[in-house]
Structure 1
Amino acid sequence: MPALEYETHHWRPQHPALFSRAEVTRQTGDYRSAVPQRIAAWVPALPADLTADVVDASAALMSFDAHTVSALGAEDPTLGPMASILLRTESASSSQIEQLTVSARQLALAELDQSERTNARAVVGNVRAMEAALRLSDVLDAASILAMQRELLLAQPGYEEHAGVFRDELVWIGNRDTAGPRGAEFIAPQHPLIGPAIEDMLDFAARDDLPALVQIAVAHAQFETIHPFVDGNGRTGRALAQAMLRSKGLAAHATVPLSAGLLTDAEGYFGDLQAYRAGDAGPIIHRFAAAARYAAATGRVLVDDLRRELELSRSQLEGLRSQAAAWRVLPTLIGQPVVNARYLQATLGLSEMTALRALTALTERGVLVERTGRARNRIWQHPGILDVLDSYAAAIRRAAIRPGR
C-alpha cells in the first residue's frame, strides 16, 4: 500500500488576540497535512500467516453469530433484545476507546432519559449511531455515514451544528494546542479532499474480490485517516465497521463486540493506524483479526451468561399464569435491564395499570428490584443482568494492555 503523501500549507492562529504574542509566533508557520492515498483498486499482498489469521477470525465471527441464534432459537422473543444489548455493549466499548466510560446501569437509565451524566448521554448517541449503521448496512454510501455521525453528535450538546455534515475546517490529532496544528502527531486532509476520498473508500468497501475482514480493517483505517468530521470520527468509523460486518455477512444477526477487542490494547490500535498511514496495512488487519477473535470468544460467554440470567428469571416466574404481562416483559429486560412503567407502555403497548401489575409481579418474584423507594417516578432494575454486563466490562479492563506493562 502506498504511504500517505503530504502537502504544505501555512498557518496563523485565526484569533490571535486569544493567545500571547509568543504563542502566536510559535504557531505561525508551515505545516504538512495528509493527502489520502487512493485505495479503490488496491490489491493486498498478504503473507500466508496473516491470510490464515483472517480466515480463522472470520470463521470465529460467523460461529459467534450462529451461536447467538442457536442459543436462543430463531423465533425466540429474546433474540431481538439480545441483539440490542450486544449493540449497546459494543457502543459502550467503542466510546470507552475515546475515554467515555459509563456503567451498564447509567447507560440503561440514559435510555429512559433518567440520567444527567454527560458520558451516559454521549454513549446513547453512539448506540443510535450503531443502530443507524446496521439499519443502513444494505446501502453503504456517504449519506449513510453522515446519518451515523448525525445520530452520534446530536447527543452531544454544543455539537449540533457539526452533526451529519463533513467538516469545512482543519482538524488534527495529538496536539492539545487550540492555536493551531503545528506540532500535531497527525494533521488530517484539507476539507476539499474529503468527498472524493470518502467515495474512493466506499468503492473499496463495495468490492467482492477481497476477504471481508481485510476490507473492514482497511476501510476503517482509511476512514480514520480521512477524519471527515469535526468530532466523532473514531466512533463513527467503528460504527462503519459494524455496518460492513453486517453487509458482508460476517454477523447477520448479532452485533459483534469488536470494539471490546480493540479496547484491550487501545494504544496498539492507534499505533496500527499510524503504521497504515506509513504504508503498512498489515498491523491494522492483524489487529482487527485479533479483535474479532476476542469479540467472538467473549461475546459467546456474554450471550450464555445473559441467557442463564433469563432462565433463572423464568424459573422465578413459575406458577404465574401464562397470560400474565410479566412474561411479555421478561425478554425485554435483556435489552433494557432498567425499566419504568412508561417504557413498558411505549415498547410493549401495555396500559399503565397492566405495566404496573407486571412490574409488581416481577418484583414480588425477585426478578426485579425497585431502587428509588419513591411513590412516583419509580424505576426497576434486573440486578443479575446488570452484574453480567458490568462483569463483562470489568473483564475487558483487566485484559487491557497498559503502557509499560
Structure 2
Amino acid sequence: MPAIIAEARVVIDTGLQAEAEDAVREITRFDAEVTAFAERRAEGDGDDSTTELAPLASVLLRTESASSSEIEGVTAGARALALAAIDAKAGPNAQLVTANVAAMQRAVELADDISIDALLAAHRALLGSQAYAAPGRLRDQQVWIGSNALSPHTASFVPPHPSRVPSALDDLMAFVQRVDLPVLAQVALAHAQFQTIHPFNDGNGRTGRTLVHAMLRHAGVTRTLTVPVSAGLLTDTTGYFQALTDYREGYIETIIQQFIIASFRAIDNGRELVDDLERVYVAWSERLTPRRGSAAQRLLPHLLSQPAVTVAHVEAVTGVALSAAQRAIDQLEGAGILVRTNENRRNRVWIAPDVIEALDAFAERVGRRG
C-alpha cells in the first residue's frame, strides 16, 4: 500500500534543503554553460545557434540513457550504441539502450504535460518491441522484486496490487503538479513514489528516471540539456536502492540526498565530457579545412553525437547526393577523423574513434563497463 502523497506535508531538514537548492543552481548553470558555448560557436561559424548545440544535447541524452539502463544491468559501450543508432550490427543490449534514448526524448518532449499518458508514451518508446512488458500499458498482474519467479515469498519488495496502480498514479501526478516544494526534493520523492508503485511489468526503473528529466524540464531547471543524473546514481547503486527502501519505510531524506550527490557528480562528469568533445572538435577543425558549407564540414558536429556513419546515413543527414556523401567520408577518412570498421564493399561503416574514446572515458568515470 503506497503512501498517499498528493497533499502530504513534506518536512525537509533546512540544511538538506539548502544543498538541494545548490544542486539545482548547479544544474541550471551547467545547462546555461553548454548553451552559451554552443551559441558562441555557432555565431562564430555564422550558423544557426542550434547547429552546435544539437550534438552536445544529443550526446548527453545518450549518456544519460546508457547510465539509466546500466543501473538495471543493461550495458552497452559507446561503439555498440553508435552502431545500433544507424541499424548496423549491434547486440541486444545496445538496441535496448537505443530504445531508452527514444523513451527519454519522448518524456522530455512531453514535459509541458506530465501525465499518465506521457509516462505510457515513454514506456511504449522504451519497450515497444518487447511484448512481455505490455509496452504502453499498466500492469494487470502482481510483480515482485528480489525473489524467484514463482512466488513473492522472501521478496525484498512487493509493489501494490495492480488494481491499486491507476489511483496511485493519479495521486502521484497530483504530487508532481505541486509548486510548494523544493524542485530537486520533489523530483526525488516523485521518482521514489513511481518506483514504489511499479506500474509496469518491466522497465519501471528506466521509465521512472525519464520522469526525473521531464520534471526538471517542466520546472525550468534545464532548458536544452538532459543532465546525466543517472550517471551520478550509477556511481553508488547500493546507496540508490537502499534510499528507495528507506523511502518505502517512511524516511524521505535518504533519496533526496542521493539525488543531490548524483546531480553534482553528473555535472562534474558532464562538464568533463563536454570539454573532451570540444577539444576533439577543435582538433578536427585544424586537421580538416574543407570549403564552408561542404558536406564534410556539416558532418563534423554531427559526428559528436553519432560517431558511426554509413554513406547512406551521411546522405540523409547532410542532404547531399550519394557521391558527395562518399567524398565527404573520403575527406574525413584521409584526415584521420573517420576510420573504416570493415572492408566489405557493401554496408561499409566508419567510426570517429576520438568521440568513442571520449564517451568511453565518461563511462569509466562513473564505473560503467561496456
| Range class of TM-score, shorter chain | over 0.9
Residues 115, 121 of structure 1: 8 Å contact kept: no
The alignment-based identity, stated in percent, is 43
**What is the letter of the counterpart of residue 386 of structure 1?**
I
**Among 334, 346, 349, which residue is 2:304 paired with?**
334
**What is the letter of the counterpart of residue 164 of structure 2?**
L
Q: 2:347 is matched with which residue?
A: 377
Q: 2:121 is matched with which residue?
A: 147
**Structure 1: segments with no counterpart, 5+ residues:** 1-34, 400-405
RMSD of aligned C-alpha atoms?
1.4
**What is the letter of the counterpart of residue 243 of structure 2?**
D
| Rounded Cα–Cα distance in structure 1 between residues aligned with 2:225 and 2:318 | 22
**Among 117, 135, 140, which residue is 1:168 paired with?**
140
Residues 295, 318 of structure 2: 8 Å contact kept: no
Q: 2:44 is matched with which residue?
A: none
Equivalent residues in 2 for 1:8-157, closer than 5 Å: 35-73=1-39, 75=49, 77-156=51-130
| Rounded Cα–Cα distance in structure 2 between residues aligned with 1:266 and 1:155 | 27
Decide which structure has greater strand share.
1
Residues 5, 175 of structure 2: 8 Å contact kept: yes
Residues 64, 297 of structure 1: 8 Å contact kept: no
After TM superposition, give the deviation of residue 398 of structure 1 in Å: 7.8
Equivalent residues in 2 for 1:197-216, closer than 5 Å: 197-216=168-187
User: Could you tell me the TM-score, scaled by structure 2's length?
Assistant: 0.95
**Among 336, 358, 366, which residue is 1:388 paired with?**
358
Q: 1:28 is matched with which residue?
A: none
Residues 67, 368 of structure 2: 8 Å contact kept: no
Residues 90, 256 of structure 1: 8 Å contact kept: yes
Equivalent residues in 2 for 1:352-367, closer than 5 Å: 352-367=322-337
Q: 1:269 is matched with which residue?
A: 240
**Per-residue displacement from partner, 1:22-60 (whole Å, max 9, x unpaired)?**
xxxxxxxxxxxxx11111112221112101110111111
Residues 95, 101 of structure 1: 8 Å contact kept: yes
| 341-350 or 188-197: bigger deviation | 341-350
User: Could you tell me the TM-score, scaled by structure 1's length?
Assistant: 0.87
| Rounded Cα–Cα distance in structure 2 between residues aligned with 1:85 and 1:263 | 18
Q: 1:184 is matched with which residue?
A: 155
Q: 1:10 is matched with which residue?
A: none
Q: 2:279 is matched with which residue?
A: 308
User: Do structure 1's residue 222 and structure 2's residue 196 form an aligned pair?
Assistant: no
Q: 1:368 is matched with which residue?
A: 338
Q: How many residues align?
A: 361
After TM superposition, give the deviation of residue 76 of structure 1 in Å: 5.0
Residues 70, 368 of structure 2: 8 Å contact kept: no
Residues 269, 365 of structure 2: 8 Å contact kept: no
Residues 91, 130 of structure 1: 8 Å contact kept: yes
Q: 2:46 is matched with which residue?
A: none
| Rounded Cα–Cα distance in structure 1 between residues aligned with 2:156 and 2:330 | 56
Q: 2:207 is matched with which residue?
A: 236
User: Do structure 1's residue 285 and structure 2's residue 256 form an aligned pair?
Assistant: yes
Q: Structure 1 segments of 4 or more deviating over 3 A? A: none
Q: 1:13 is matched with which residue?
A: none
